Structure 1
């Protein structure tokens, strides 16, 4: 099982890289060459939280087994999401004296995933009423 979790983690990291590059390119095209808001990590962590909420509620409703849940949440989503990068981006905004943006991004870094995981719980509850 540990090897499957490791493989899923690697796949999640690859998916994060591809999505990160895609989001940054789109954001740079829209905002110009010097974007101030590090949107890609926030979007990726929001998607990961939404998926984690759906997966956990699916597990709680017993429609998915524990091994599959662990491979997906600990493996894939663990490799896909990244809280440490988000915190580093907050500190980078502080270093460049973008204090208001750093505060807003810091709050969003916590609030967006919390909201997304709650939405994921709701989606799973609606699709699997127990």
Structure 2
């Protein structure tokens, strides 16, 4: 029961951090698409780091990976942004956005794991 509470608290922390990063990026008139790529890349980096360094600590992994990073990263925003681009018939931008998200997130995981 305590572990579930700690995971929930971690998720809240991650959600607040995501909100802060997105507000910071969009404050400088950059589209929210870039903010989502940044958030998911940062989350992927720390996921790679955490998986590599916390394999022997399942409680920390649960709180940090499932809680904090689960609240911080946002696949649903990625999917919704891609849908909005398709709906607006901005097919090239949608393809570029999806490729960037996948490539940057993968590179970030690899970097986080190896550092």
**Bigger mean CA offset, 40-49 vs 85-94:** 85-94
Q: Please list the CA deviations of residues 19-76 of structure 1 after superposition, one character each: whole Å capped at 9, or x if unmatched.
A: 11111112x1xx6xxx4x710000000000000100000023x4xx110111000000
Counterpart in 2 of 1:19? 21
Gaps of 5+ in 1: 124-130
Q: Pairwise CA RMSD of aligned residues?
A: 1.3
TM normalised by structure 1 equals 0.82
TM normalised by structure 2 equals 0.92
Aligned counterpart for 2:61 among listed residues 56, 69, 94: 69
> 2: CA distance between counterparts of 1:88 and 1:107?
15
What secondary structure does 1:38 align onto? helix
> 2: CA distance between counterparts of 1:57 and 1:85?
27
Whether 1:50 aligns to 2:39 is no
Shift of 1:118: 0.7
Larger radius of gyration: 1
How many pairs align? 113
Counterpart in 2 of 1:82? 74
Q: Which aligned segments of 4 or more residues in structure 1 are displaced greater than 3 angstroms?
A: none
Whether 1:113 aligns to 2:105 is yes
Shift of 1:15: 0.7
Gaps of 5+ in 2: none
Shift of 1:77: 0.3
Whether 1:39 aligns to 2:34 is yes
> 2: CA distance between counterparts of 1:90 and 1:25?
21
